[in-house]
Amino acid sequence: MRGKCPLIGLLFSNPLDRALLLQFLQEMGYGVKAPEPGEFQTVDWKKMSLVITDEANAQLHEKGLINLKEQSEGIFLPLIVALRHGETAALWLRKGFDDVIRLPITKAELAARLRVFLRLREQSEELARRSEEMFRALVEQSLVGAYLIAEGQFIYANEALGNIFGYETEDLTENVDPLQLVHEEDRPIVSQKLRQMLQGEVGSLRFAFRGMGRERNLLHVEVFWRRISYKGENTIIGTLVDITERRKAEEALQQSLERTRKALKGTVQSMTMVVETRDPYTSGHQRRVAKLACAIAKEMELEEERVEAIEMAGLIHDIGKIAVPADILNKPSKLSEPEMALIRAHVEVSYQILKSIDFPWPVAEIVLQHHERMDGSGYPQGLRGDEILLEARILAVADAVEAMASHRPYRPARGIEGALEEISKNSGILYDPEAVTACLKLINEKGLKIE
């Protein structure tokens, strides 16, 4: 690992298991916090890079550990459960844990599993750093007012916000109540929305109101608010534009979004490579699925934003397979029911990994739903028809075609003809009929190749 030494949290009731894993981790060069039973509250778990727990402690501290993941402010916190028996493995993955290891475990196997998850954490930290740098660069140079509000007060405001209302930045953060910037007649509704955001009742809002400048000059402004967790507190991150300057502000924001998307795509490509190193039989699968799914979306004339969402989801739709043992992924014979449960759990593992990343599209939800089927026979939620996101229905068709057309350890390739016959037969039953029609047209009439 690059940079400072990762700190691993170890939650074990059995002293022999705790001592052995502690020895392994220290020999690998990791820092370790391994509290005695009953001392969970004595550790600052927010400082951990990864947590390994036995099943007893996972049951005891499940809520606290899952909350820790959700409050990690965009940084992926891997949670690993160590089991003596594998019957409950799929259950823990569904609950939001990221991996399951079987005890006893060798030092080499443990090291390999940790490398994968710590690499993903490192990538999420890099993504967060880039996002913060781009945010700072944008807001300090932008004509758009940008600010943070916590406990009803500005804790950050950029120069543009001060210019719009006629204040120095320091005045806004030290002396000005945000509601002072609102026209008297609009304060009740703005105050209500502010309270809803800070109390966690709503996640985001966009609305316009009349503002009041320092010189009592009337302004018409539009704001976008989003609730985030900042230093453990509900915080509003907001932008504000003078509506008369809308065009200039939108151009600046668009440039920023393009930079963010490029950074996101670079990180997504790295995540794709992590999966493919563990499953050589599906090397290139995610890229081929993304390419076909984008082509289907364009054939269906979806707007560019939705095509981009499908591309990003396609590139990492199997990221959750890092939690599936390689011997199961590459098994040349029929899988048992427990093994199939582990395979199916990969979509929920994917969702847990991706939901903490602030994509500008619903990537985590698309990935979660890409194994749902039109008749409700899919997984993990048994959604049917329009309950499934259109992007996920398109991804499902592309994933099915590429998978059936390609070789797998447990079966030979069916070929593209067999794959197209299968989706045609199940159009409207398993697969979205519009997506199937578009796929057939692309391959049969327009000569699209899956390669």
| H-run or E-run covering 92 | helix 89-95
CB 406 within 8 A of CB 400: no
Residue 265 dihedral angles phi and psi, to the nearest 5°: -65, -40
Q: Average pLDDT in the 339-352 region?
A: 90
CB 342 within 8 A of CB 324: yes
Q: Average pLDDT in the 163-175 region?
A: 92
Query: Distance (Å, rounded) from C-alpha 31 to C-alpha 15?
Result: 18
pLDDT at 330 over 70: yes
| H-run or E-run covering 228 | strand 218-230
- Mean confidence (pLDDT) of the chain: 87
pLDDT at 255 over 80: no
Ranges 96-105, 263-272, 428-437: which has the least confidence = 263-272
pLDDT at 148 over 70: yes
The model's pLDDT over 129-139, given as tens digits with 9 standing for 90+, comes to: 777 666 666 66
pLDDT at 429: 97
Bridge partners of 234, per DSSP, are 229
Hey, what domains does the chain have and what are their CATH numbers? Answer: 7-129 (3.40.50.2300), 142-252 (3.30.450.20), 279-445 (1.10.3210.10)
Token pair in block for residue 215: 């010189």
Taking the alpha carbons at both ends of the chain, their separation in whole angstroms is: 34
- Going by C-alpha positions, the residue among 24, 22, 72, 29 that lies closest to residue 47 is 72
pTM (2 d.p.): 0.49
Counts for the chain of helices (H) and strands (E), in that order: 18, 10
Residue 190 dihedral angles phi and psi, to the nearest 5°: -65, -40
pLDDT at 407 over 90: no
Percent of the chain surpassing pLDDT 70: 92
The number of residues making up the chain comes to 451
Q: Average pLDDT in the 24-52 region?
A: 92
CB 308 within 8 A of CB 361: yes
CB 423 within 8 A of CB 429: no
Note every long-range contact of 371-378, with CB atoms under 8 Å and residues 24 or more positions apart, other chains counting.
371/344, 371/347, 371/396, 372/396, 373/429, 373/430, 373/431, 374/428, 374/429, 374/430, 374/431, 374/432, 375/429, 375/430, 377/430, 378/430
Q: Average pLDDT in the 339-346 region?
A: 88
Query: Distance (Å, rounded) from C-alpha 349 to C-alpha 116?
Result: 14
The model's pLDDT over 200-219, given as tens digits with 9 standing for 90+, comes to: 788 888 899 999 999 999 88
Cβ of 26: how many Cβ atoms within 10 Å?
A: 13
**DSSP string for 123-136:** HHHHHHHHHHHHHH
Token pair in block for residue 193: 């929305």
pLDDT at 440: 96
pLDDT at 1 over 60: no
**DSSP string for 16-75:** HHHHHHHHHHHHTT-EEE-PPTT-GGGS-GGG-SEEEEEHHHHHHTHHHHHHHHHTSTT-
User: Would you place residue 332 in the very low, low, confident or very high pLDDT band (cuts 50, 70, 90)?
Assistant: confident
Cα 210–chain centre separation: 36
Query: Distance (Å, rounded) from C-alpha 187 to C-alpha 139?
Result: 26
pLDDT at 246 over 70: no
pLDDT at 2: 47
Half-sphere exposure of residue 263: CA atoms within 13 angstroms, side-chain side: 23
The model's pLDDT over 284-311, given as tens digits with 9 standing for 90+, comes to: 888 899 999 999 999 999 999 999 999 9
Cα 118–chain centre separation: 16
**Ordered strands of the 145-150 beta sheet:** 153-157, 145-150, 233-242, 218-230, 204-212
Q: Average pLDDT in the 237-255 region?
A: 73
pLDDT at 168 over 70: yes
pLDDT at 385: 96
Strands 204-212 and 218-230: antiparallel
Token pair in block for residue 75: 């940084």
Token pair in block for residue 249: 């502000």
pLDDT top residue among 3 and 59: 59
Q: Average pLDDT in the 3-9 region?
A: 84
